[in-house]
Structure 1
Amino acid sequence: MRRLLWPLVLALLLAGCAGEKGIVDRQGYQLDTRRQAQGSSPRVRVLVIHYTAEGFATSLATLTGREVSVHYLIPAQPPLHQGRPRIWQLVPEQQSAWHAGSSFWRGATRLNDTSIGIELENRGWQETAAGRTFAPFEPAQILALVPLARDIIARYGIRPQDVVAHADIAPQRKDDPGPLFPWRALAEQGIGAWPDAQRVAFYLAGRDPHAPVPMDSLLELLGRYGYEVRPEMTPREQRRVIMAFQMHFRPARWNGAPDAETQAIAEALLEKYGGERAASGSRA
């Protein structure tokens, strides 16, 4: 009799559980999600901002092909639908997109696996008689970016220092989104890092902002903040790292020269956000 009753009792128990919080029915099985492991971490840790260096139609074709991809693409002038700007999602956030390439940030590599990428339609830079000049970003495009970036940051708990430029994670290859991207304005809206002006002035300590500082000491600070700094780097590679940092945090002067203001900004950022901590479990 007990053998006959047990399946019925079990079925009734399972039926009761199905209505409980944390019990999820699937086709052919049921999940109990009420006990979650402590030994876990979110897959997405980094938000990477890019520019396309191409028009929208060409960018859309490139980013939906087989070579490269990105999670989101924002036109220079996003079309409005019911008063809201339209953004193209090309890869679901749960999947990796091929946007970061060979990259490094805060001890982590393989950033395609741990990041979300946003491409902004922008022609990038051009060589002119005055040197390399970058194209500005359209205000409507930045207005569309803000709520998207905020949502991503909130969903994954992304820290300010892990909202980065493509140039930050690949300074030897990339310049995007360049010195005209409004990092400071976005930081004021909770998107990304920015140093406190008073602390920059404190660390500058009355020095001429453009006074030279030792290359090694500046690179040590940038390496602690998150940039890839290697002992065997050539002088050109060292300057590329500094230039990437300056385009992000000191866009008025991004010549790659190690100077007192760049050093003071790095020190203020380290004080505010702390030093290197791996953004994922992947290591070089």
Structure 2
Amino acid sequence: MSYSSSARPVHIAGWPGLLLCLLALGACTPATLKERPGYWADQSVAAKAFNHRVRFLVLHYTGGDGPRALNVLTGPSVSSHYLVATAPPAHSGEPIVRQLVPEYERAWHAGTSSWGGRHHLNDSSIGIEIVNAGPIETANGNAWQGFRQDQIAAVSSLSKDIVTRYAIAPENVVGHADIAPGRKVDPGPAFPWEALYRQGIGAWPDATRVAAYRNQFAGAMPSLAAIQSALARYGYDVPVTGVLDQRTHAVVVSFQMHFRPARYDGVPDLDTVARLWALNDKYR
């Protein structure tokens, strides 16, 4: 249950009543009292030992058009905090995005999920759904639908506001595929993660460090167990087995879609490993 943060004036019978209030509550004044059902909350003193519930920002694509997405996201089974249209309308020159769930509420967007040792990320994240079909059939075979420039501009503005207000670390701006590898692939390899990074949103490896690790590992690649450990260190939920099992393959695909979208075959090759090591250097 939530309540309005607006104050209701406190009517105290003259200075004796105000003095009695100050004596009873320490620093109580009409401006620091907030009405609640059946009582008043004194907000004159604030604790310092707390942090934000929101630790993660999770980006999705809808896998369908806008009307269908809105219908699904306002139904009984799934939701997200925000929905960004393919061509967002504007007001006073700024894009309009739909807010479907208040940020202080728990939207149902992540499902079974894990990142950085935390699970059930609905509890600690804000979810943004972006209208996009995902994989589509074309005359040349399957392809991924791209994202419009004005759509990404809206996503960028929204995301930057969220990560600033909640102090979300760059490595905790993730895709649904990152937190649910093998089960989800959105926002897919067409999503411009690097462009968002250039706007101050999310993580991206430094090219010089990637090149240095390519040179370092050109002669001898790290063991698969070391690669699994590095993936887990960065945040992925992957066991260290030393075997390229189904789970590891799915995690590598998710990593490549995010950080090396030119090829996402699930093979931990030299370029993939170099990017992974460079990311851990920078963020972990």
TM-score (norm: length of structure 2) = 0.86
Whether 1:228 and 2:257 are equivalent positions in the alignment is: no
Q: Which has the higher contact order (CA 8 A, sep 6+)?
A: 1
The residue that corresponds to 2:47 in the other structure is 36
Larger mean CA deviation between 128-137 and 87-96 belongs to 128-137
1:171-201 per-residue CA deviation (whole Å, 9 max, x = no partner) reads 0201000111111111011100000000001
Secondary structure, counterpart of 2:54 in structure 1: coil
Count of residues in correspondence between the two structures: 266
Whether 1:82 and 2:76 are equivalent positions in the alignment is: no
1:231 CA displacement: 4.7
1:116 to 105, 118, 126: 126
Q: Does the CA contact (< 8 Å) of 2:65 and 2:131 recur in 1? A: yes
1:24-47 per-residue CA deviation (whole Å, 9 max, x = no partner) reads 332441323424142x22100000
Secondary structure, counterpart of 1:205 in structure 2: helix
Q: Give the residue type in structure 2 aligned to 1:109.
A: H
Q: Report the RMSD for the aligned CA atoms in angstroms.
A: 2.6
Q: Does the CA contact (< 8 Å) of 1:214 and 1:258 recur in 2? A: no
Secondary structure, counterpart of 1:244 in structure 2: helix
**Partner Cα distance (1:15, 1:257) in 2:** 64
The residue that corresponds to 1:187 in the other structure is 197
**Partner Cα distance (1:118, 1:190) in 2:** 17
The residue that corresponds to 1:150 in the other structure is 160
Q: Give the residue type in structure 2 aligned to 1:97.
A: A
Whether 1:248 and 2:258 are equivalent positions in the alignment is: yes
The residue that corresponds to 2:65 in the other structure is 55
| Structure 1: unaligned runs, 5 residues or longer | 275-284
Map residues 260-275 of structure 1 onto 2, 5 A cutoff: 260-274=270-284
TM-score (norm: length of structure 1) = 0.86
| Structure 2: unaligned runs, 5 residues or longer | 1-14
1:74 CA displacement: 0.4
Q: Give the residue type in structure 2 aligned to 1:34.
A: V
1:84 CA displacement: 1.8
The residue that corresponds to 1:91 in the other structure is 101
Q: Does the CA contact (< 8 Å) of 1:146 and 1:186 recur in 2? A: yes
Q: Does the CA contact (< 8 Å) of 1:49 and 1:164 recur in 2? A: yes
Secondary structure, counterpart of 2:28 in structure 1: helix
